[in-house]
Amino acid sequence: MRPAVRLVVLLLALWGAAAGAQGQGSPFVSGMPQTPILVIDFERVFAESAFGRRVNEEIEQQGRTIAAENRKIEAELIEEERELTDLRPTLAPDEFRALADAFDEKVQRLRDEQDAKARALGTRTEEARRRFLTVAQPVLEGLLREAGAMLILERRTVFVAADAIDVTDRAIALIDVQIGDGTPAVPDPVPVPDPAPDSAPDPETPEPPSGQD
């Protein structure tokens, strides 16, 4: 028996003993299955939650921007290469070689810059997923307590599971309520008090002495 299967069997046995000792008669409480194991499709939770949709839309927009930049750069380089080719008959070999080397360096520099942007976008995607898992963890822990469960398994790693223990839809709904799209709330602007009016001198206050005897 594989270790993962042994773990599931052990958990089922422990939960069954605990449930029997507590006299639980119904497998559902408040619409949640009372079970030691829950499954969740994390890819769906991320993709369909407001948080995940916002992140994916932002990343797709940035990806489109990078793609548009690539097309623009490609067109400009093709035109520059054509102009350089047209100049070749009018230049000495050393002059043309210097221009050709400079052009090759420019092409490599622009390629490196665009590749760096693409890698940064991929990194941002992974960071967003890690942050999402962090902020969603309290929600998932709440689902554990609500079901009296001991662990939540990623559905993609489970060979077969009953739909009743799949909490993907419930997790999405709760995350949307408790986290929203993850955009930090913008604080209300702090009102700036009106400047105090210049205070007129008190007519009853004597003026300071002029310093004359």
Cα 50 to Cα 26, 123, 139, 171, 172: the distances in Å are 33, 20, 15, 12, 8
Q: What is the pLDDT of residue 118?
A: 94
- Residues of the chain with pLDDT below 70 are 1-32, 184-213
CB of 35 closer than 8 Å to CB of 165: yes
* pLDDT at position 162: 83
Query: What is the C-alpha to C-alpha distance for residues 12 and 150, in angstroms, rounded to an integer?
Result: 10
Encoding tokens for residue 140? 């998932």
Beta pairing class for 32-33 and 37-40: unpaired
Contacts for 120 with CB less than 8 Å, ≥ 6 apart: none
The whole-model pTM stands at 0.62
Helix axes 93-147, 50-87, angle to 10 degrees: 170
pLDDT at 184: 64
What pLDDT, on the 0 to 100 scale, is given for residue 176?
Answer: 94
pLDDT of residue 13: 38
For 144, the 3-state DSSP assignment is helix
- What's the pLDDT tens digit per position in 89-147? 999 999 999 999 999 999 999 999 999 999 999 899 899 999 999 999 999 999 999 98
Q: Output Rg (C-alpha) for the chain, integer angstroms.
A: 33
Task: Give me the torsion for CA of 151, 154, 155, 157, rounded to 10°.
Answer: -110
